[in-house]
Structure 1
Amino acid sequence: MEILRVFNNNVVLSRDASGREIILTGRGLGFQARPGDSIDTARIVRTFVPDDGRDPDNMGAQIAAIPPEHVLLADEALAIAARELDTDLPSHVVVALADHLSFAIKRVHSGIALDYPLRSEVSHLYPKELAAAAHIVAYVNARLDEPIPDDEAIAIALHLVNAGFATGDLSETYRITGLFRQLFDVLEQAYGRPFDRDTVSAARFITHLRYFFIRMKKGEQLSEGHEILAAAIQQAYPEAYACALKLTAVLELRLGDEITDNEVLYLTMHVARLASEPATAC
């Protein structure tokens, strides 16, 4: 492999055997190096592959701006999360977490405290990611002289959720998380009672919505003809169908896209399942 660009002494841009541009890190990898120079592969510590259309130059510059020890710390901590979530976490999640941890460490050192919103929503909507994030914080703090607050797990959980949404944009994940809250508000107003968000039915509803957002992002809504089934479900669950239409109106307004009848059909079935659960205490 040869160097395409040097970001700093420890970060360079290269190209792998398949022709993809990749970012390589390693102590002294870019020291006194120039484009066209061969790379000492023995020095490579970590390889980052820009995914989801990310610009390699931007990603390389971001990595170069993060202290190497924080990148390593994020990489090690995410290995724990990947095992707990039983999933592969793409390179951009490592970079995002390293950047977040680095900034959190600087804030602690400067005595700056942050209050994270969406605490309740994250704990209800993403319990697995939040548990993994809490373990990340514990792992990181065991290796720091000045520990970061436990509340950092809220933001870290959203980074993990972001990987699942496949949006590539953490602000979009915050927006979608807020939208979850709004949808549950509409649901509870429609039925005039609270819903327990820790039930299996609620988890299925949330999972359905997460994949719905991914389908919307890719322009791949459910659109097969199920007219007979749709008519039967509307007749069997009129209240759930009316509620699903309200949810659909919110989704179309917030997402700026028309939602297919089949997506409304699946929403109705999830709402009906949720509504069949016993009411929770206020």
Structure 2
Amino acid sequence: MQIKKILNNNVIITTDKHNNELVVMGKGLAFQKRIGDEVVECQIDKTYRLSNSDLNTKLQELLEDVPIGYLELATVIIDSGKEKLHTSLNDSIYISLTDHLHTAIQRVKNNIRVPNLLLWDIKRFFTVEYQIGKEAVALIKRRFKVDLGEDEAGFIALHLVNAQTEIENDNVYVMTELMQEIIRIVSYYFKVQFDEESVYYYRFSTHLRFFASRIMNHRQNEGETDEELLLIIQKKYRNAYNCVEKVNQYVVKKYNYYMSNDEKLYLTIHIARLVQKLGQEEKSITSTNKK
């Protein structure tokens, strides 16, 4: 095993016996070494063999700008995710999560915090991923003396969600078609056209992406929503709930997927909010035109 490229004293590029590129880490692995020198294998701490050459190239480029400690941190989080989620994750998460952690930590050090508008959904629908995110935030606080807070725990959870989606949803077209059909059902039920550039539509479509992912992966969410709370929501948002029942009929018929109470409750709230905001905007436009 020979050194093909040196990224820094601790990270080198080499190849395996099949000529596949490897990113190899180890303390002092490349110290006073040159390209072509043999790798001291007892010094190797971690080896990364990503699924394709494009990802390998991106990881190399990232490690030229981001300290290796962030990749090590991301690896700890990813390993925890694989263990607790009982699934493999797309290799791209090594790049996306490393980059995100570096950016987030630097941002918070500069007293800049980005609110996570999806935190509510993440906590309810991706409880395991969010718990891993919270543990990651605690680990970062110990290692870097920086408290990222629960918003970033949610962002870390999203990286884990997306890494699962990329593996399990090979047919992106089918998932997109499902989302479009749900939007069509809602639009037809309320006889409205949605502004796809609005923040309210963005939040709704993002929630739909998570919902569609669960349907495609047959991963139903069963939370702790009780019947009484669901009845309250039914009464408060009667039209939105009836619309959700139309959506439920569709996914049962086409995907043999039965929505849980949690899913009905939160989809009802999302639809009610979207339609309400659309109604407010229409009233505002009408009022302005009259003037």
Report the TM-score, using the length of structure 1 for normalisation. Answer: 0.62
CA distance in 2 between partners of 1:266 and 1:106 (Å): 46
C-alpha change, 1:243 and 1:158, in structure 2 (3 Å) is same
C-alpha change, 1:144 and 1:242, in structure 2 (3 Å) is closer
Provide structure 2 residue ranges, at least 5 long, that are not aligned to the other structure: 191-209, 220-244, 270-291
C-alpha change, 1:185 and 1:142, in structure 2 (3 Å) is farther
Task: Name the counterpart of 1:54.
Answer: 54
CA distance in 2 between partners of 1:116 and 1:151 (Å): 5
Which letter maps to 1:154? Answer: G
C-alpha change, 1:27 and 1:151, in structure 2 (3 Å) is same
Task: Name the counterpart of 1:274.
Answer: 259
Task: Name the counterpart of 2:214.
Answer: 207
Task: Name the counterpart of 2:128.
Answer: 128
- Between 1:40-49 and 1:132-141, the stretch displaced more is 132-141
Secondary structure of 1:112's counterpart equals coil
Task: Name the counterpart of 1:9.
Answer: 9
Instruction: Provide Cα deviations, 1:27-83, integer angstroms capped at 9, x if missing partner.
Output: 222234332211111221211112155342332121232212222222223332222
Preserved CA contact (<8 Å) 1:77 1:140: no
Q: CA deviation at 1:2?
A: 0.7
Task: Name the counterpart of 2:100.
Answer: 100
Q: Work out the percentage of aligned pairs sharing the same amino acid.
A: 26
Q: CA deviation at 1:205?
A: 6.5
Which letter maps to 2:96? Answer: A
Greater helix proportion: 2
CA distance in 2 between partners of 1:277 and 1:132 (Å): 21
Preserved CA contact (<8 Å) 1:11 1:60: no
Matched pairs, number: 217
Residue 144 of structure 2 is aligned to residue 144 of structure 1: yes
Secondary structure of 2:18's counterpart equals coil
Task: Name the counterpart of 1:87.
Answer: 87
Which letter maps to 1:81? Answer: G
Task: Name the counterpart of 2:22.
Answer: 22
Structure-to-structure mapping, 1:30-69, within 5 angstroms:
30-52=30-52, 54-69=54-69
Preserved CA contact (<8 Å) 2:75 2:94: yes
